[in-house]
Structure 1
Amino acid sequence: MGVIGTANIAIRRILPVLAAHDRVDLVAVASRDKARAERVGAVFGCRGVGDYAALLESEDLDAVYIPLPPGMHHEWALRALRSGKHVLVEKPMSDAYEKTLELISTASELGLVLAENFMFLHHSQHAAVAAMLDGAVGELRQFSGTFAVPPLAPDSFRYQAGLGGGALLDVGVYPLRAAQLYLAGELEVLGACLRVDEATGVDVAGSVLLSDARGVTAQLDFGFEHSYRSTYALWGRRGRVSVRRAFTPPEQLKPVVRIEQQDVVTERSLPEDNQVFNAMDAFVRAALGEGPATGDTSATLRQALLVDRVRRTARLVGSGARGHELLGETPGVR
């Protein structure tokens, strides 16, 4: 397996797991800065390559992981697939529905594994929460979800429109994806708002209101200008269940779920789990022929379509919104 890019998430979270996995031979890591690639490679016991394309030409690779900025996912995932490699690409799979559809179609035609790395989906707490719904929540009426972080380093790709920056594609996709775990079918975007920063031209915060065909609604909030928050809640006839560390729980954390029913509040501690390992292991098993070739493609496509609908619906506010409204664009997700 090889890695295209030396993003922080790759170095901190993914490469240690791949290097230690007993069914993975980590062969190479690529960066456009060869010296950086060699430094990272030395840490994880693999070679460093100073060119993405050169890595894809390596005959000793079966699969690649791509932690590049969202605006680069489509190009390099497509090139990797066409070079005969299985592909694990960071979320979102691409910055547009049509691009995601092309990637999935290409993987299917070539019989290759293509997976979008939403690691939170691989944590056992969500299955545990789903099992509580009938008894603790009853008939679901409303879902709410939030993922927000403090301001990032000014030179981060997340503030660069040309690289697919912006809060929607970085943190907003998490509550959007979580809402689809509990709401049914195709979701309608009833309203959305994206706050655009004048200096960077990207969306730095936003809110979305969704509904499914049953009338169950979802209120979602996200951004780069907040104290840290990573949570979702389900509210129904019998009560409300909230998940405190929904998207990035540390592997040693025993998640606490809060159940509120009338005058009774219960907190339940769930088993710790390692969503990073679980996500990598699921991809590895699929690449070895022990799982579906392209994973849950219908969910990936629904997610990409929903993100596009949010962009088309969103009202842009803030000092950087003027001009993008006139062009009919959502900044940061072109």
Structure 2
Amino acid sequence: MRWGVLGCSAIAERRALPALHEIHGSEITGVASRTPERAERFAAEHGGTAMTYQQLIDSPEVDAIYLSLPNSLHFEWAERALRAGKHVLCEKPMTVSAERTDALVALADERGLVLRENFAFLHHPQHHVVRELVTRGRLGRLRTFSSAFGIPSPKPGDIRYDPELGAGSLLDVGVYPIRAAQLMLGDGLTVAGATLRVDADTGVDMAGHALLVSENGVFADLEFGFQHSYRSRYALWGDAAQLSLERAFTPPAEHRPLLRVEEQDHAEEFVLDAAHQFRESFASFATAVREGPSAEVERPWLRAARETARLVEAIQGVAVRVRQRGAVPS
């Protein structure tokens, strides 16, 4: 399977391309960046030929695109790739609007192509263990899901502060707790309330908090932001016990997750196997391409992407905005 890398981002360099090299039968045949020099450097380090964006899309030597451009460019270039017959693994968020996500989903379905949003954490087996415990009734009747993903402020000039490029903490880190809530609580979540702390000059959201409710009345309490010490966790609270998981979204490949289940007078800990979630994400995508897109397999991915986009827009629509001067570092 021949990959084209569209966008030489930090996440591509640090996490994605090293993982891609570990996928049997996969090779990088093309690399495109906004600047030729960066594309040449990536090609020298990771393989393939440096190209322009359009050359990569048109290349007969590319079967699938790994897309890691700024958020606001995802729709245009994913659409071009799909129309050119390429499969697309797109870094989250798939687009910056529900309407555009719907359009890409419809196009991929129509063309019989694999289109996925690269939430690598979904491929870590720790979450399957959590879901199994919940399904077995280990926590009793589930009442609340809570999740937080926060990181220290990116450096001045980072594209995540540029409103023209789809900036903001909601689209960058907030989508992780949202997608985790979907994983644990299913479809049909509604947004009961939200608040966003925004930079007064740019309007970029720097942090936020949202309350969602599932169809059967379970609350989802979600926090996210760029103004924090690092935190990546979720917890489930039932009427019999509670479960917590740290480093839920970006665990290193060698990290052995620790699940903690607490009851009123008893606590139990489970040490799980380490897993390379980026490698698993690429391997799963490559398998789907090689075997041919199956509606049974791919439609849940497409439906989840649409649901994430809908929830993001709902949060943006109801959020109370708290304005802060000088929130973006200069």
TM-score normalized by the length of structure 2:
0.94
Counterparts of 1:95-174 in structure 2, within 5 Å, are 95-133=96-134, 134-174=136-176
Tell me how far apart the structure 1 counterparts of residues 109 and 137 of structure 2 sit (CA, whole Å): 40
| Residue 67 to residue 216, structure 1, CA distance change in 2 (3 Å) | same
SS of match in other structure, 1:136: coil
> C-alpha distance in 1, partners of 2:20/2:217?
43
Partner of 2:288: 286
Of 221, 243, 246, the residue aligned with 2:245 is 243
Name the CA distance, whole Å, in 2 between partners of 1:91 and 1:319: 27
Answer whether contact 2:113 2:293 (CA < 8 A) is retained: no
* Stretch of structure 1 that moved more, 291-300 or 142-151: 291-300
Superposed displacement of residue 289, structure 1: 2.2
Alpha carbons of structure 1 residues 72 and 294: separation in structure 2 relative to 1, 3 Å: farther
The letter for the 2-side match of 1:145 is: S
Q: How does 1:157-236 map to 2 (within 5 A)?
A: 157-236=159-238
- Residue 308 of structure 2 corresponds to 303
Partner secondary structure for residue 221 of structure 1: strand
1:255–1:269 CA contact under 8 A, matched in 2: yes
Moved more, 279-288 or 130-139: 130-139
Name stretches of at least 5 consecutive residues in structure 1 with no aligned partner: 321-334
Count the aligned residue pairs. 321
Identity %: 46
Segments of structure 2 that go 5 or more residues without pairing to the other structure are 326-330
Cα distance in 2, alignment partners of residues 290 and 232 from structure 1:
34
Change (3 A) 1:291 1:267: farther
Match of residue 314 from structure 1: 319
Alignment partner for residue 21 of structure 2, among 19, 22, 25? 19
The residue matched to 1:27 in structure 2 has which SS?
strand
Q: Does the 8 Å CA contact 1:113/1:294 hold for their aligned counterparts?
A: no
1:270 shift after superposition: 0.6
1:127-152: per-residue Cα shift (whole Å, max 9, x none)? 00111123431110000000000000
In the alignment, residue 39 of structure 2 is paired with which amino acid? A
- How far apart in 2 are the matches of 1:181 and 1:47? 38
SS of equivalent residue, structure 2 residue 28: coil
* Structure 1 residues 256-289: Cα deviation after superposition (integer angstroms, max 9, x where no partner): 0111101212221011111101100111011112
Q: What is the match of residue 328 of structure 2? A: none
Superposed CA RMSD:
1.6
User: Could you list the per-position Cα deviations for residues 156-185 of structure 1 after superposition, in whole angstroms to 9, with x for gaps in the alignment?
Assistant: 111011100100000000001101112243
- When structure 1 is superposed on structure 2, of 229-238 and 28-37 the one drifting more is 28-37
Measure how far apart 1:198 and its partner are. 2.3
Task: State the 1:308 CA deviation.
Answer: 0.9
| Partner Cα distance (2:187, 2:101) in 1 | 19
Equivalent position of 1:330 in the other structure: none
Cα shift at 1:294 = 5.5
Alpha-carbon distance in 2 for matches of 1:294, 1:239: 34
How many angstroms apart in 2 are the aligned matches of 1:165 and 1:257?
33
| Matched AA of 1:144 | S
Distance in 2 between residues matched to 1:4 and 1:318, nearest whole Å: 35
